[in-house]
Amino acid sequence: MKLCKDNYTVEFDDRGQIVSLRSGGKEFVGEVLPLLQFRLRNGEETEVYTSNEADVVFLEEANGHITISYSYKALDLNFRVHVVCSQRMEYTLSFENKTGKCIEWIDFPQIAVPNDLVCTGGSGRVIIDVNEGLLIEDMKAKEDFYPYSYREMEYPSEGLYEMFPAAVQSQFLAYYDDVCGLYMAAEDKERGIKGINFGPYGENAIKLQFRHYPGVCAQDTNYDLPYAMVMDIFRGDWHDAAELYRTWFEGNLPAGLQKTEENKSLPEWYLDSPLVVTYPVQGIHDMDEAKPNRLFPYHNVLPYLEDIAEKTGSRIMDLLMHWEGTAPWAPPYVWPPLGGEALFQDFCEELHKRNFVLGVYCSGISYTVHSNINKYNNKEIIEKEDLKRFMCAPPDGGEPISKICQGQRKSFDMCISQDFTKQVLCEEAGKMASSGLDYIQILDQNHGGTPYFCYSEKHGHPPVPGKWMVEHMTDFLQKLKETVGEHVLLGCESAAAEAYVPYLNLSDNRFNLNYYPGRPIPLYGYIYHEYLQNFSGNSVCSLDLIDIHRSPDCHLLRVAHSYLAGDMMTLVINQDGEIVWSWGERDFSLLPEREPLLHFIKSATAYRRCIGKKYLVFGKMIKPCTVKSNAVAMYKPGSDEFRDYPAVLTTAWQASDGSRVQFLANYRKQEEVCTINLEGTKGARLLDEAGSVIQVLEDGICEIKMPPCCVRMIAFSV
């Protein structure tokens, strides 16, 4: 069955497989796949089937509407697929399930695009909104990097599973090359649980995967997928794919979401672009024995913060790690803080006197049995109160287990559906908020705000993952916000996934992880920046991703990327007040150059707080004019492999009044020359931090000299 439309031609075979999808001479089908694949579950017993194994397949088409029926007689199971082929393709699905088993997940619609990525000599790329945006040009690099290599999502959960809403923050994938691209998205207003990922399919193809979790019990025999899966053709690059998704998102906002410019409940400091400075007050590393370091008592840090504030022209958010009076990274009980409430509150007041703000890291929705770095132990209370009954249960109904931070602690993952989970975390958050602090990164480990898989048959939810997880997490976050009040902001590790954006206003970005498998791109900022801000995070694992000895510019590269994505910048310091490459280091014999870094932050902050505020704080990202500059090699540790990055980075922005600007950032300690293509514009002006005109730029290709470690703003003529 072949259908020809203005911008594509699609062909299905007699089993409903997509055997060809073409546009502009480009074939998007690299390998033919069954249209759908699904897994049945009964406790720990599972069976996987595809649509090609159906006993009876029936196809019919009328006026661009295709209906495909699949019948599995031995299973007493039927699927019905409806495809609408118009300007784009829309796929919907329903099933009648009388197997007596749950349909745990469905991969639908299945397509494998050609593996003609840049590394193979082609021009293909794949993008996914994982950890704020990842562009892949080499499938081997992705598969060699454990957190991002394709793997099945199973119990117990992992924080960096490619799951939505979680570390995958948006419901779309895109593949494109120099000819055109294929955009795939779930237009799910309820934002239920999905696996969104891609991986190699043989040597010549890449499978784009959308795994849907119906989340219904076996006795719920009839189910309609409550949203459409869409495929669309686009031309351009990742900005153009992101624009398709942003258009849908803005027409289907999560309940209660407001643009930052309109949100009167946000505290004043949030709009003042604070510089985040983070450090531990116990030990120097995640796995150190929990003993106070030289930044305890808390006041010891004040001279360092004052120096950084003066040299950068910044307000400071002091963000504490290893501050808990129980044990570091040992949730849920974190209060009282190290040294007691009075000492902590006095420090908070001293920060506020300086117009600084205070935040703390926490460690997510887990329940600690015992700490591995001090003598903290909850085993007795767990046994006495039978608390295991509230934990995420495995499919076999056996002992709960966890993979999350088991080096630091022995713990269980709490099920988000349970009142106990919500109550204990709200109580702890209330204690923290009472101290007068300003920010709680309360969902560390729960990347994007995700809860964990639970298969319990006793918790009142279906015994499989599903939308119930998002509903309960949303209910919990609402209760949490009510508990802490408007003056305290909340966040998670990695930027908040789309479903949780209304509640997690400031989160700890993890874009730095994307340097190893591919290229970080500000995809998240492109879609969501008008609604919230984030900070660039503590950069954990960065030394595993780029060689600091052969790539000394890598620290400023990360700071510049974060700034241009619209994020608040972050510095990590050690117990001597020295700026270090990232959290999680032990060796401080080589440090980033301090003065160039502070100079860059001063330049960047001046724009963000003054003439660039309506763009970088309140505006929305738009596709930039093309900028070309020298290439800078960033080497992988222990390897001669490297990836080139432009010496001058750029993003473009539009304010609510319609005015447009483009920012340039030179993160190098030397002058760099770049060109910008202003063809088709009315020209522009290059402005310094005070708004003075440095250079008038005419319509056409213009050369710009960028001083070392600085930012410049281009204001477009109207």
Domain boundaries, the chain: 1-257+438-508, 621-716
pTM equals 0.97
Question: Are the C-beta atoms of residues 635 and 641 closer than 8 Å to each other?
Answer: yes
pLDDT, one tens digit per residue, over 644-696 is 999 999 999 999 999 999 999 999 999 999 999 999 999 999 999 999 999 99
Q: Cα Rg for the chain, rounded, in angstroms?
A: 26
From the list 133, 137, 135, the residue with the least C-alpha distance to 124 is 137
Task: Quickly state the pLDDT bin for 479 (edges 50, 70, 90).
Answer: very high
Spatial separation of the C-alpha atoms in residues 652 and 692, rounded to whole Å: 19
pLDDT score recorded for residue 24: 94
pLDDT score recorded for residue 632: 98
Spatial separation of the C-alpha atoms in residues 678 and 656, rounded to whole Å: 22
pLDDT, one tens digit per residue, over 105-152 is 999 999 999 999 999 999 999 999 999 999 999 999 999 999 999 999
- Kindly report the average pLDDT of the chain as a whole number: 97
DSSP state of 313: T
Q: What is the mean pLDDT of residues 604-624?
A: 98
**Percent of the chain at pLDDT exceeding 70:** 100
Spatial separation of the C-alpha atoms in residues 226 and 92, rounded to whole Å: 8
The CATH number of 621-716 is: 2.60.40.1180
Spatial separation of the C-alpha atoms in residues 280 and 295, rounded to whole Å: 8
Q: What is the mean pLDDT of residues 513-539?
A: 97
Amino acid type, 447: H
pLDDT score recorded for residue 597: 98
Spatial separation of the C-alpha atoms in residues 556 and 560, rounded to whole Å: 6
Number of H helices, E strands in the chain: 11, 42
Q: What is the mean pLDDT of residues 335-350?
A: 98
From the list 268, 27, 222, 239, the residue with the least C-alpha distance to 133 is 239
Spatial separation of the C-alpha atoms in residues 208 and 193, rounded to whole Å: 17
Which residue's entry shows tokens 């993979």?
403
Helix 594-609 with 302-312: angle, nearest 10 deg: 60
Question: Are the C-beta atoms of residues 112 and 30 closer than 8 Å to each other?
Answer: yes
pLDDT score recorded for residue 598: 98
From the list 140, 129, 145, 137, the residue with the least C-alpha distance to 544 is 145
Q: Which helix or strand (DSSP H or E) is residue 460 part of?
A: none
**The Cα angle at residue 347 between residues 343 and 353, in degrees rounded to 5:** 145
Taking the CA atoms of 689, 691, 695 and 696 in sequence, report the sign of the dihedral they define.
positive
In this structure, which CATH number among 2.60.120, 2.70.98, 2.60.40, 1.10.8 belongs to the domain 1-257+438-508?
2.70.98
pLDDT, one tens digit per residue, over 435-476 is 999 999 999 999 999 999 999 999 999 999 999 999 999 999
pLDDT, one tens digit per residue, over 305-336 is 999 999 999 999 999 999 999 999 999 999 99
**Percent of the chain at pLDDT exceeding 90:** 100
Task: Quickly state the pLDDT bin for 78 (edges 50, 70, 90).
Answer: very high
Amino acid type, 197: N
Question: Are the C-beta atoms of residues 368 and 411 closer than 8 Å to each other?
Answer: yes
pLDDT, one tens digit per residue, over 3-62 is 999 999 999 999 999 999 999 999 999 999 999 999 999 999 999 999 999 999 999 999
Question: Are the C-beta atoms of residues 627 and 676 closer than 8 Å to each other?
Answer: yes
| Coil, helix or strand at residue 61 | strand
Residue 605 structure tokens: 């902050």
pLDDT score recorded for residue 59: 97
